[in-house]
Amino acid sequence: MGTIDPFYALSSSESSLVIDCRNGAPAILYWGARLADGTTADMLATLGTRQEAQARVEKEARIGLSPEAGAGFPGGPGIEVHRDGRQWGVFSRVESVASGDDSLEIRSACDATDIDVVHRLCLDRNSNVLAATTEIINKGNTNLSVVSCSAPTIPLPLHLTEIVGFEGRWSSEFQLRTVSRFPGSYLRENRTGRTSHDAFPGVVLQTPHTSERLGESLALHLGWSGNHRVRVEELSDGRAYAQLGELLFPGEITLAPGESYRSPTLYGVWGEHGVGHVSRCLHRYVRSHLTAKRVRGKAKPVHFNTWEAMYFDLSLERLCRLADKAAEVGVERFVLDDGWFRNRKSDKAGLGDWYVDETVFPDGLTPLVDYVNGKGMEFGLWLEPEMVNPDSDLYRAHPDWVLQADPAPRLLARNQLVLDLTRDAVQRYLFERVDALLSEYPITYLKWDMNRDLSQPGGEDGRVATHHQTLALYDLLRKIRDAHPDVEIESCSSGGGRADFGILAHTDRVWTSDNNDPIDRLRIQNGFSVFFPAEFMGAHVGPHRCHISGREVSLATRAGVALFGDMGIEANLLELSTDELAELEAAVSLHKHNRDLLFSGELFRLDMPGHEHGLGIVSTDRRQALFLYALLDTMPHSAPGRFRFDGLLPNRRYSIKIVWPLAPESYSTSILDSIETSPITGDALMNAGMQLPIITPQSVLVFQLQAVD
CB distance 555 to 584 below 8 Å: yes
CB nearer ligand GLA, residue 113 or residue 416: 416
CB of 458 to ligand GLA, least distance (A): 25
SS3 467: helix
CB of 381 to ligand GLA, least distance (A): 11
10: CB partners within 8 A, 6+ apart: 16, 17, 19, 102, 103, 104, 121, 122, 123
CB nearer ligand GLA, residue 202 or residue 495: 495
The dihedral formed by the CA atoms of 640, 277, 172 and 132, expressed in degrees to the nearest 10: -170
Is 162 one of the binding residues for ligand GLA (CB under 6 A)? Answer: no
Which of 338, 353, 583, 602 forms a contact with ligand GLA (CB under 6 A)? 338
CB of 15 to ligand GLA, least distance (A): 37
Report the length, in residues, of the chain. 709
Distance CA 377, CA 331 (A): 7
Which of 337, 378, 488, 646 forms a contact with ligand GLA (CB under 6 A)? 337
Is 451 one of the binding residues for ligand GLA (CB under 6 A)? Answer: yes
Query: Is 673 tagged catalytic?
Result: no
CB nearer ligand GLA, residue 215 or residue 301: 301
Which of 70, 495, 614, 682 forms a contact with ligand GLA (CB under 6 A)? 495
CB nearer ligand GLA, residue 394 or residue 492: 492
CB nearer ligand GLA, residue 494 or residue 624: 494
CB distance 627 to 616 below 8 Å: yes
Which of 382, 536, 627, 645 forms a contact with ligand GLA (CB under 6 A)? 382
CB distance 458 to 394 below 8 Å: no
Nearest to 372 by CA among 304, 299, 295, 446: 304
Q: Which residue in the list 20, 114, 453, 514 is annotated as catalytic?
A: 514
Which of 16, 494, 507, 704 forms a contact with ligand GLA (CB under 6 A)? 494
CB of 339 to ligand GLA, least distance (A): 8
Is 514 one of the binding residues for ligand GLA (CB under 6 A)? Answer: yes
Is 352 one of the binding residues for ligand GLA (CB under 6 A)? Answer: no
Span interacting with ligand GLA, options 99-107, 488-496, 579-587, 632-640, rule CB under 6 A: 488-496
CB of 531 to ligand GLA, least distance (A): 20
CB of 303 to ligand GLA, least distance (A): 11
Interhelix angle 424-440/466-483, nearest 10 degrees:
30
Distance CA 650, CA 544 (A): 40
End-to-end, the C-alpha distance of the chain in Å comes to 61
Query: Is 449 tagged catalytic?
Result: yes
Span interacting with ligand GLA, options 314-322, 489-497, 640-648, 669-677, rule CB under 6 A: 489-497
How does DSSP classify residue 476?
Answer: H
Distance CA 68, CA 48 (A): 19
CB of 511 to ligand GLA, least distance (A): 6
Is 510 one of the binding residues for ligand GLA (CB under 6 A)? Answer: no
Distance CA 132, CA 430 (A): 32
Which of 216, 353, 386, 449 forms a contact with ligand GLA (CB under 6 A)? 449
Is 386 one of the binding residues for ligand GLA (CB under 6 A)? Answer: no
How does DSSP classify residue 574?
Answer: G
How many beta carbons lie within 10 A of that of residue 40, not counting itself?
13
Q: Which residue in the list 449, 453, 500, 566 is annotated as catalytic?
A: 449
CB of 413 to ligand GLA, least distance (A): 12
* Sign of the four-CA dihedral 295, 296, 301, 304: positive
How many beta carbons lie within 10 A of that of residue 67, not counting itself?
25
CB of 610 to ligand GLA, least distance (A): 28
Question: Cα dist. 625→573, 598, 620, 628 in Å?
Answer: 30, 9, 10, 10
Q: Which residue number has the CB closest to ligand GLA? A: 338
Angle at 221 between CA 218 and CA 224, to 5 degrees: 170
How many beta carbons lie within 10 A of that of residue 343, not counting itself?
19
Number of residues that bind ligand GLA (CB under 6 A): 12
Span interacting with ligand GLA, options 52-60, 121-129, 490-498, 543-551, rule CB under 6 A: 490-498
Write the interaction track for ligand GLA spanning residues 274-313; mark x where CB under 6 A is met and - where it is not.
Answer: ---------------------------------x------
Q: At 326, give phi and psi (nearest 5°).
A: -60, -45
Span interacting with ligand GLA, options 29-37, 137-145, 176-184, 487-495, rule CB under 6 A: 487-495
SS3 686: helix
CB distance 514 to 478 below 8 Å: no
How does DSSP classify residue 639?
Answer: S
Which residues contribute to the site for ligand GLA (CB under 6 A)? 307, 337-338, 347, 382, 449, 451, 492, 494-495, 511, 514
Q: Which residues are catalytic?
A: 449, 514
